[in-house]
Structure 1
Amino acid sequence: MSAPDYDFKSLSPYDFEVLARDLLSAHDGITYSTYRVGADGGVDLQAHTEAGVVIAQCKHTPDASKATLVRVARAEREKIARLSRRPIRYVFVTSADISPRDEQEVAEALDFVADAVEVHGRGWLNAVLSEHQHLERRHFKLWLSSTEAISEMLRGGVFLRGESRVRRIQRNYLRFVHHDICTQAEAVLSSSGCVLLTGAPGAGKTAIAEYLLLQWWHRGYRIIVDPRDVDRWWEWVEDDTPTVFFFDDTWGQTRYGDHTSRHYDSDVYEFIETILEKRQGGTQSKLLIMTSRIQVLHDTVRLSDASRRALELVAECRVGIKGLSAEVRSRILFNHVLHGVTDNETRRKLAQGGWWRDIVRHRNYSPRIVELIIARNGHAGSEALVADLLRSLNNPLEIWGSSFKALPDYDQQLLLTLAVMDSRHVPWRKLDPRLENIATNESGFEAAVERLQDSWIACEYVEGVQYFALVDPSQRDYLTLYLSASPSAMSRLIKNTVEFEDLTSICSQGAAIELAGQQRLFSLGEDLFRDVLDICFGVLLGRVRDLWEREMGNKMPIFDSGKGDGELFAVLFTRFIQVVHYHADRYRADSGNAVFPDGWLARELNELTAAGQLAQIETVGELADTLTLLADAFNHFAEHRIHPEIAKATVELEELCRSLWDSRDPQISQVPGDRNHAVELARAVVENAEALVQFVVRPKLHGASTDSIDQEVATYIRISGEPVEFAERLEVIESALGFRLPVSKEVINKLLASTDWEHSSNVGAKVSEYFTQPVQRTTAVSSATPIDALFRSLAPQEES
C-alpha cells in the first residue's frame, strides 16, 4: 500500500489517544502510559525519565481551525499550571492538519508549561507511521476505512459470502477493541502458523479472527474464508501465494455436525496436519485461523476420532476467549454506543451516571448482545436503550422473541426450516421446496426473503446460485428452543421435509437418552426435541417411512440397470438402519401399538435385499464397512427393550449382511498375489475388525500371503500414529483375520517406546486441561476511572 496520508476521522477519541501513545513511544524510545480520557486535568499520556516526567495531551479534533487549537492550548496551559510537578517536556498532539506557522502559534500559547514544548499535527503523525509500519498494521481502523482497501481485499481473496463478509468486517472495525487476547492470538499464529479461538457464543471469537485476517492481509497475504470446496483447499495450500485460511465455526455453528460433508472431519484433520507439517518444514507462508464454540468442541472431542486428533494437533495453538476484563468490556460497550447512537439528547443522557457498570458487570455480558441491542435501539431514548440492554442480558435468547412472533406464519416457517438445516450456507433450491405447502397471503418465498433480509437472513450469490444463512447463531438457538416447545410448528416442519437428511437433523436432537450409546448432539446442553417429538411421533414416523420409500423407489431402478454400486447400497443400508432406529426411539410414545404398519417391514426388507443382491460390490472394504454399520445399530439396541418387530428387523439385517458376504467375498475379482488387494484387505480389517468378529465372518486372502497382510497392517498403524489404540485392538484384528501379526506388534511396541509418542501423549493431556480451566473473574470498575471520563465524552463536543 502507498505511504500513509490519514485524516484519522475513523478513530474514536480513545483510539486516537492509543495511536498517539504508540507513535510517541516508538519515536522517542521511551514508554508512554495512558493516563486519562476526557476531563483529565491536562494529562492524557505521561512518561517517566531520569531527567523528569514527560506529559502529552491528545486532541482528536480533525477539523479544528487554528483559532480553536490556540484556544484549547491556552485552556490546557492553565491545567498544567495547577500540577504539583512541572514536566520537563510537554507534547501537544492533534489530528488537525496544521501548518508550521499554526504549530508555532499553538506552541506560543503553551509557553512556560515545560522546559520544552512540542506541537504535532496530522502530517507528523503520518510521517511517524511511515517509519513504523508495524504500528500501521496494528491500528487497522486507519486503513480499513478506505474503499481501495476493501476493493483490494476482494480482488486478492476468496470469501464464502463475498463482498458482504468484507463489508461486515469494515462495518465492525469501528467497534473493535484491542486487548491482551488479541496480542496472544497474534503471537500464537506468528509462531505456530495456526490458531484455534474458542469461547462461548458471542464472546468475540470472530472479531479477533477478523483482526488477525486484517493484520496478515495488510502484510500481503491472500485471504481465504470458509472454503467449502475441499479440493480447492489442497490447490491453495500447495501454490506459492502467501495465504491465511479462516474457518469460522470449524466443527459446527451451534452443534457438532452442522457440516454435511461425509468426510469433513477427516478432511479438516488432514488439512491442519498439512499446515503444521509445512511450518515444521520451513514454509512460513501458509497460516490457519479457526474458531469454535466451546460447547461444540465438547461434542466434537466425544463424537469424532478425526476431530479429536485434530484438536490434539493444535493443543498448543488454542486461545480461549473468556474473562474479558471490565475495562475491555466497557470500551466495547462505549464503541457501540459511540457509533450506534447519533441523537444528541440521548448521548447527553448516556454521558451521565454509571448505567454502563450494570451492563459490563452482568454475568451474561456478550459483545454480540451489545451489538444487536444497540443496532436495533440506536434511535431510541437513553432509558429505553439501557432497559432493553438489561432485559436482553437477563434472557439472551429472547432478543429475537418479539421480532419472530410478529412475523407472518410463512416467514416464521421459513426461518424454522433454515434453523434445522445447515444455516451457514443453504442454496435456494433446497429451501424453497420445503415451503411449497405452507399457505401465505404475503406473496410467497421472494417476498418473505425481502422482508427478512439483513435482520434475520443473509443472502448471497455464489457463481449465480442464491444462498441463505441466518444472520446470527443466536437466532438459531432461539428458533430451536421455539421448536422444542411448539408441537404444531414441529409437525408442520416434519410434514414439509423433502429429503431423508431433513429428518436426520431433527431426530438427532431428540433421541431418547435411555437408548444405549446415545450421544447428545445438541450444544445447548439438553435433548431439546425429545418431548416435542414424542408428541409428534405419528407424523414423524409416517414421514420417515414415506421418505425412505421415496428414496428406495428412486434408487432401485439404478440397481435394476446394473449400475448400483457398493457405496450407493451402503447409503440405503444406513438409511434403513436409521428408520429402524427412529421407530425404536419412539417406542414409548407409541404406547405399545405396532411400530410398523402391517407388512411394511417385510416389504421394505425384500426391496433392500434385492438391491444388495444387484449391487456391484467389488471390494472387501465395501462389504466390511456395511457390516460395521449394522454392528453400530446393534450396539444402539443391545441394552434397550425394543419392540419385537424391531428385534426381528435387526436379525434380518444381520442375515442380509451374511448373505452378501458369503455370496460376494469369494467372487471378488482380484489378481492372485496383487498388492492392491493386500492393501485393501488390511484397511478393511483394521477399520472393521470388531464387526467381522461380531458376525463371525472372515475375509478371503485371494492369493495374498499372511506376511504381506501383516506388512500392510503394520504400515497402516505406523501412518495412523495411534499406537495405544492399536495395542488395545491388535488381538481383535488378529481374530478377524485368523492369524497372528508379529510385524504389526513390533511396530506398535517401537512406537510406544519412542519419545515422539510420549510427547504426543502429553499433548493429549494438555487438551483435557484446556477444557477444565477455571473462568477468570472480572474485576469491578471503580467510580473514578478513565472509563467514567470515556463515557462522559459521549456528550456533544461543546459540552464534554
Structure 2
Amino acid sequence: MNIETRTHLRVYFLQNYNFDNLNDKEFEVLVNDLIASKESVHVDRFKPGKDAGVDGRFFSAKEHEVIVQSKHWIKSGIAALMRRLAKDEAHKVKLINPKRYIFATSLPLSRADKIKLKDIFSPYITSEDDILGKDNLNDLLAQYPDVEKKHYKLWLSSSSVLDAMLNSALTGRREAKRDQIIDATKMYVVTENHSNAIDKLEELHSVVITGEGGIGKTTLADQLAHYYVGKGFELCVIEDDLSEAEAGLKKGRQQVFYFDDFLGRNYLMAIEGRTDSRVLNFMDRIEIDRSKRFILTSRSSVLKQGKFDSDLLGIKKVDKKEYEITISSLSILDRARILYNHIWNSGLSNEHIEQLYIDRRYATITQHDNFNPRLISFITDPDRVRDVSIEDYRAYVVEKLDNPEDVWAHVFDKQIDEVTRIAVFLVVYNGTAVSESELRSAFKHRVLNDGIATASNVVFQFDSMMKVAVGSLLQREISSTSKGPQINLFNPSVADFVLRRHNRDSATLGAFFVCLNTENSLVNLKSLKESSRLSKELYYRILSTLCAEKINKGFSQEHPKYFTRLLQMISD
C-alpha cells in the first residue's frame, strides 16, 4: 500500500465532518470545489442572491449544461428538506431543463433517501451517484485532501487538529482560552489580515496584533494560534507572567506561544512590572528559533502609550512586528461576509433577518463608518434584541451603529440591578483583574455606605451578584500564578463604556476608588490621567478625596504598599 493510499484511508477513517462550522455559502463553495476536482472541470459560481436553483454550473464534454445545487440543512431534518425540494426546487430545475443535475446536502442520506430525491428531480438526476450526502462529501474530501486544506474553517475542525487542541496540557484559564478558540472558529471569516499576519509570523516568528476595541484582534490571534496547532505546534497560552513560558521553551520542539492583551488595560502596570523588557527578550529568543512562533495582542492606543513611556519598546523597534487591524483593512466584501456569518450563526428569527434584506438594508451596515465585528455581534444577538419588535429592529440596528458607545447602555440600565453595576464598576476602576476577596471587601464597603445592603445580608448580595454577572459581564478565573480566584471583565469594551459614562463625575469616581484598597487601582487612576481619559483637574479631585478618606483616618498596616503608592502620587 503506497503512502498516498494510506493517507487517504487515514483521512477516511478519521474525518467525519458534519459541516456545522460552515455557513450555507461556505458549504456551497466547498461542494463546487469537490465536484470540480471529481469531474476535472471548472465549476462556475454565481454571486449571492436568489439562485433560481443554481449554485454551480459546468459543461460536459458534449457541451451539455450541468447544474449543481447545494442545501446546507444542518438546522432541519431530512423530512423538512424533502418537502422543501418537492415544493420549490423541483419546479426551478424543470424551468432550467439541464441535461444533468447534481444535488448535494450536508445531511446524511440513506439508500431510500436517495431514491426519493432521484424521483423528485426526475428525469434530471440520471444516477444516484449525482446525489451527494454527508458521507459522500467526506469520501470526496478523503480523495481530494487539497480541497480540505483550501477550506480553512473545515480543516480547523478536523479530528486531527481538534485532537491536538484538546490534548494540549492546559489548566484553568488556559483551558478556557483553548475552548474559546475552538468555539469561535465557526464565527471566523478569513480576510487578507489572516494571510498577512501569517506572512509576518513566518518571517519574524513573532507578531503583535493591534487595533482598537472590537475590531477583531483577539479573534485573529485566536485563529493564528489555531492554525499553528493544526500544523503540529504545541499550544502555550501565557496568562500574566512569562515565567512559565520561559521555563517551557523546549529546543527543537514546535511551539506557538500566545499572550493576549500583553500590556493589559493598564500599560503603566505592565511597564512597572517590567513586562515590556521580558516580552521583548522573549521575542529575541523566538526570532532565532525557526520552530517557535509568538502571537501577542494589544490595543493600538495602549501600545502607542507604552512605546512613549517605555524606552525598551521604542529601542527594540517592536514596530516591525506590529500588525494593526483597522476598519479600512476590511474590504466591503469582508464586512459583508462577517455580517452574513454572524447572521447565519446568531439564532435570530427569520422575521428579524428579513428586515436586514429589505431594500438591501444590509449595505447600510457593511458601509457604515462604525462597522466592527463586536458591534455586529451585538446587533445580531437574539438575547439582546428579544425586546425589540420586528418593525423596530432596523431602527435599533441603525441607532447602535450611529452610537456604538451605547451598546452596553441597555444592559446596564435595563438588564442588571444596582449591586451588579457596583461590582462591575469596581472591577473597571481596579484597572486589571482583582482577587475575589478584594472585590468582596470593596463591594461590602460600597453597598453598606450606600445603604443598599445591611451587614446581615451583604454576603448574600455578593454571592447572588456573582451568579448573575459571571459569564455575562464578569469572568471568574483561577490562575496558577495567583492566590485564589481572580475577577476580570468578560468583555473589555465594558471598561470603555463605564469610563465614558463617569469620566466627568468626580464624586462617583472618588467613591469607587475609596472602596478599592488595591495598589492596582491607584496605578490605574494615574494611567487614566496619563492617557488623558481623565482630566488633570478631575484626577486631583479624586486624589484629594482619597487623601481625606485614607490618610486622615490613619496609616493602615494592612495595606502598606497602597499607602506608599498614594503618598507618592500626592507628592508628585
Q: TM-score normalized by structure 2?
A: 0.81
Q: Does 1:269 align with 2:298?
A: no
Partner amino acid for 1:484? N
Question: In the TM superposition, what is the alpha-carbon distance from 1:218 to its structure 2 partner?
Answer: 2.7
Question: In the TM superposition, what is the alpha-carbon distance from 1:447 to its structure 2 partner?
Answer: 2.2
Over 3 Å counting, the alpha-carbon distance change for 1:386 and 1:465 in structure 2 is farther
Match of 1:433 among 438, 441, 463: 441
Partner amino acid for 2:34? L
Question: In the TM superposition, what is the alpha-carbon distance from 1:228 to its structure 2 partner?
Answer: 2.2
Q: Distance in 1 between matches of 2:297 and 2:444?
A: 36
SS in 2 for 1:156: coil
Match of 1:458 among 475, 499, 508: 475
Q: Does 1:334 align with 2:325?
A: no
Structure 1 residue aligned with 2:323: 318
Aligned residue runs from structure 1 range 341-380, under 5 A: 341-375=347-381, 376-379=383-386, 380=388
Which stretch of the first structure deviates more once superposed, 438-447 or 12-21? 438-447
Structure 1 residue aligned with 2:16: 5
Question: In the TM superposition, what is the alpha-carbon distance from 1:168 to its structure 2 partner?
Answer: 3.3
Of structures 1 and 2, the larger Rg is shown by 1
Question: In the TM superposition, what is the alpha-carbon distance from 1:256 to its structure 2 partner?
Answer: 2.9
Counterpart contact for 1:340–1:378, Cα < 8 Å: no
Structure 2 residue aligned with 1:748: none
Identical aligned residues as a percent? 22
Over 3 Å counting, the alpha-carbon distance change for 1:509 and 1:342 in structure 2 is closer
SS in 2 for 1:290: strand
Deviations 1:642-668 (A, max 9, x none): xxxxxxxxxxxxxxxxxxxxxxxxxxx
Question: In the TM superposition, what is the alpha-carbon distance from 1:275 to its structure 2 partner?
Answer: 0.8
Structure 1 residue aligned with 2:78: 64
Aligned residue runs from structure 1 range 141-540, under 5 A: 141-142=153-154, 153-158=165-170, 161-253=173-265, 256-257=267-268, 259=270, 262-279=273-290, 284=291, 286-310=292-316, 312=317, 315=320, 318=323, 320-323=325-328, 324-375=330-381, 376-379=383-386, 380-405=388-413, 407-423=416-432, 425-438=433-446, 439=448, 440-441=452-453, 443-463=460-480, 465-510=484-529, 520=530, 522=531, 526-540=532-546
Question: In the TM superposition, what is the alpha-carbon distance from 1:446 to its structure 2 partner?
Answer: 2.1
SS in 1 for 2:544: helix
SS in 2 for 1:508: helix
SS in 2 for 1:238: coil
Q: Distance in 2 between matches of 1:552 and 1:459?
A: 25
Over 3 Å counting, the alpha-carbon distance change for 1:542 and 1:24 in structure 2 is farther
Q: Distance in 2 between matches of 1:57 and 1:170?
A: 30
Counterpart contact for 1:487–1:536, Cα < 8 Å: yes
Deviations 1:726-762 (A, max 9, x none): xxxxxxxxxxxxxxxxxxxxxxxxxxxxxxxxxxxxx
SS in 2 for 1:509: helix
Over 3 Å counting, the alpha-carbon distance change for 1:316 and 1:486 in structure 2 is closer
Q: Distance in 2 between matches of 1:50 and 1:191?
A: 45
Deviations 1:165-198 (A, max 9, x none): 3443344333322222223333433444333322
Over 3 Å counting, the alpha-carbon distance change for 1:383 and 1:472 in structure 2 is farther
Which stretch of the first structure deviates more once superposed, 41-50 or 472-481? 41-50
* Unmatched 5+ stretches in structure 1: 511-519, 556-570, 582-800
Q: Distance in 1 between matches of 2:285 and 2:371?
A: 38
Over 3 Å counting, the alpha-carbon distance change for 1:13 and 1:547 in structure 2 is farther
Q: Does 1:78 align with 2:94?
A: yes
SS in 2 for 1:161: helix
Q: Distance in 1 between matches of 2:261 and 2:323?
A: 14
Question: In the TM superposition, what is the alpha-carbon distance from 1:470 to its structure 2 partner?
Answer: 0.8
Counterpart contact for 1:175–1:336, Cα < 8 Å: yes
SS in 2 for 1:287: strand
Deviations 1:126-166 (A, max 9, x none): 12322454654564655777999878634414366244434
Partner amino acid for 1:64? I
Structure 1 residue aligned with 2:5: none
Question: In the TM superposition, what is the alpha-carbon distance from 1:459 to its structure 2 partner?
Answer: 1.4
SS in 1 for 2:445: coil
Q: Distance in 2 between matches of 1:105 and 1:222?
A: 48
Structure 2 residue aligned with 1:689: none
Question: In the TM superposition, what is the alpha-carbon distance from 1:59 to its structure 2 partner?
Answer: 2.3
Q: Distance in 1 between matches of 2:505 and 2:162?
A: 44
Question: In the TM superposition, what is the alpha-carbon distance from 1:211 to its structure 2 partner?
Answer: 1.8
Question: In the TM superposition, what is the alpha-carbon distance from 1:358 to its structure 2 partner?
Answer: 1.8
SS in 2 for 1:458: strand
SS in 1 for 2:228: helix
Which stretch of the first structure deviates more once superposed, 358-367 or 158-167? 158-167
Counterpart contact for 1:269–1:309, Cα < 8 Å: no
Number of matched pairs:
540
Over 3 Å counting, the alpha-carbon distance change for 1:483 and 1:132 in structure 2 is farther
Counterpart contact for 2:215–2:374, Cα < 8 Å: yes
Q: Distance in 2 between matches of 1:147 and 1:444?
A: 45
Q: Distance in 1 between matches of 2:188 and 2:202?
A: 21
Over 3 Å counting, the alpha-carbon distance change for 1:309 and 1:19 in structure 2 is farther
Partner amino acid for 2:91? A
Over 3 Å counting, the alpha-carbon distance change for 1:487 and 1:573 in structure 2 is closer
